[in-house]
Amino acid sequence: MNTELKTSSQTKLTESTQKLLCCPVCRSKLELAKSHLECTNSQCKASFPIIAEIPILINDSSSIFSISDFLDNESTTLKPKSKLERLLINLVPGINLNLNSKTNFQNFAKLLLKENKSSRVLIIGGSVVGQGIEPLLLVPEIELIETDVAFGPRISVICDAHDIPFADCSFDGVVAQAVLEHVVDPNRCVEEIHRVLKPDGLVYSETPFMQQVHLGKYDFTRFTHLGHRRLFRKFEEIDSGAVCGPGMALAWSYQYFLLSFVKKPLARVLVKVFARVTSFWLKYFDYYLIKKPGTFDSASGYFFWGKKSEQILSDQDLITLYRGTQSSSF
């Protein structure tokens, strides 16, 4: 197996994948017209620019983003941390600890290749390499199509997960890691994931539960373990559980408690440094707690991975899947 991560040039759309692109407005086929893509539906005729070889396939009528946001080819539409904050934060221990992603992605890749000698996987929110995703990136038989609403070195397509610009049944797998909390309508996004997956296609998702607001105005939703499972009710579960435990959740709460007292950027940076130096050790409790029943009620975040199904998990069946320790009485 090649142990080098795929480079940005290796993540450009192949010719076969380009043919799967569709209009995010009406899902009709697209055709290349000079420096842009144009919808072939005469009733639609939407036009989408190509910036630095990356198609900008945003549905202006329904997205919180617009095509114009990307025309200046900035590295991201999201405000980056200041250089000072990045410098100071990198000097102190972190408070994040993801214990299951790497193993989950290893198993995800194995099952993909068990079903298909070569697989096509859509990564939603891929402008930054995900935590623990390296086992998936290392497999040359897996073609990765990495998308986001921000430019990045590995991005193939700029698109909004509410209107995924690919034809039905295009992918063997879809990954949405730390994404669905940042979309305004996660149910619609999961419907889109279901649509673009082939029959028996695989999905892998991670979402936060006990985490405070991050990414500012682009942060909308949190999920319990059962809430996350219901989101993927049209999928047969392969595995689910906590990915980041209650120790990390406690460290986050402590940090944000202290941040509540300050507003100015420099003060916030200094508080973050102090909070992390004094609480980073809390995350190590998660090595012990991550599979405990109580963690299903108190984890920092959960994962789910499953297989596209024609069966829909009923809400009556959903509540039988509760694995925590809380009583249902008030």
pLDDT, one tens digit per residue, over 286-318 is: 999 999 999 999 999 999 999 999 999 999 999
Same domain, 60 and 87: no
Tens digits of residue pLDDT in 9-43? 445 788 888 899 999 999 999 999 888 999 999 99
Tokens for 199, please give them. 């029959």
Does 70 reside within a domain? Answer: no
Same domain, 156 and 272: yes
- Cα–Cα distance, 225 to 322 (Å, whole number): 8
pLDDT at 313: 98
Model confidence at 278: pLDDT above 60:
yes
Same domain, 54 and 93: no
Same domain, 205 and 297: yes
Same domain, 279 and 148: yes
pLDDT at 329: 65
Tens digits of residue pLDDT in 100-116? 999 999 999 999 999 88
- Cα–Cα distance, 247 to 241 (Å, whole number): 15
pLDDT at 108: 97
By the 8 A CB rule, do 134 and 102 touch? yes
Tokens for 67, please give them. 């095509």
Does 2 reside within a domain? Answer: no
What integer is the mean pLDDT of 73-98? 76
Does 76 reside within a domain? Answer: no
Domain that residue 257 falls in: 83-312
pLDDT band at 152 (very low <50, low <70, confident <90, very high): confident
Same domain, 245 and 288: yes
Same domain, 46 and 135: no
Same domain, 146 and 218: yes
**H helix or E strand, kind and range, residue 300:** none
| CA trace torsion 154, 138, 232, 26 (10° rounding) | 40
What integer is the mean pLDDT of 144-155? 92
Does 10 reside within a domain? Answer: no
Same domain, 291 and 224: yes
Does 323 reside within a domain? Answer: no
Same domain, 267 and 190: yes
What integer is the mean pLDDT of 316-329? 91
- When divided into structural domains, the chain yields a total of 2
* Burial label, 7 (beta-carbon count in 10 A; 0-12, 13-18, 19+): exposed
Model confidence at 77: pLDDT above 60:
no
pLDDT band at 74 (very low <50, low <70, confident <90, very high): low
Same domain, 168 and 24: no
